[in-house]
Amino acid sequence: MQIHNSLDQIYSEAQQCQACPTIPPRKIYENFGVKFPVAYYSKEEGGINAKIVFIMESPGIAKGGAAQTGNLESGGNYDLTAKNGAALRKHAGISLRDFFVTNSILHAGMTNDGKMRKPKNSEIKTCSSFVKRIIDVINPPIVAAVGNAALKSLYFIEPHPCLKITECAGNHFKWYNRYAFPLCHWSPKGLISRSMKYQQEDFKKLRELIDQIKK
């Protein structure tokens, strides 16, 4: 219960945050039916005693998608990123209880006309203070940075040697008194850079690291 309360506090503060002038006014989010910020996923999905915290790029804006529904496993059929993530997790035998999901920025990266955009470096740096607190509360032995934005978020918390996700995907290193495990994004676009076959191999390595830590 204490962990839930601490997470609620973090996301409540993020809800009030106005540090980034690049973020559209709240009314823009309301007009397009997008939550600001996206809170952590449902308490049934993604364990608060997780062994892994996955840091994604930013929440999606699709109304039936995982980020907006808070449901990791049953987003709409068009939420291919959520479906790919679930397939990779199941392929590696990683339990829902073993991971928690957040993002490099806690709000959806969105333009004034309601389109998705990549997070800006200034936003990632500002939001890294929230990400750090989430990691501190859950205290996982592994933090998986999914994509370059997440990798930058980790760097703002504590500098590390990995500058590009393609150079270190699937290889863990010590970071912030735990392990960082970079992964390429498993969105349809991300799978062009690193195929599902190689992503499955990366997830197997992640599972092996989990098993090593359990011993």
Residue stretches of the chain with pLDDT short of 70: 1, 39-47, 70-78, 215
Q: Which of 165, 159, 196, 156 lies closest to 183, judged by CA?
A: 165
Q: 106 by DSSP, 3-state: which? A: coil
Contact 191, 84 (CB under 8 A): yes
Following DSSP, what letter does each residue of 131-190 receive, concatenated?
HHHHHHHH--SEEEEESHHHHHHHHHHS--S---HHHHTT--EEETTEEEEEE---STTH
Tell me the per-residue pLDDT of 185-198, one tens digit each, with 9 for 90 and over.
Answer: 999 999 999 999 99
Rounded to whole angstroms, the Cα distance separating 50 from 69 reads 21
pTM over 0.85, yes/no: yes
Residue 137: phi, psi to the nearest 5? -70, -45
Hey, what domains does the chain have and what are their CATH numbers? 2-214 (3.40.470.10)
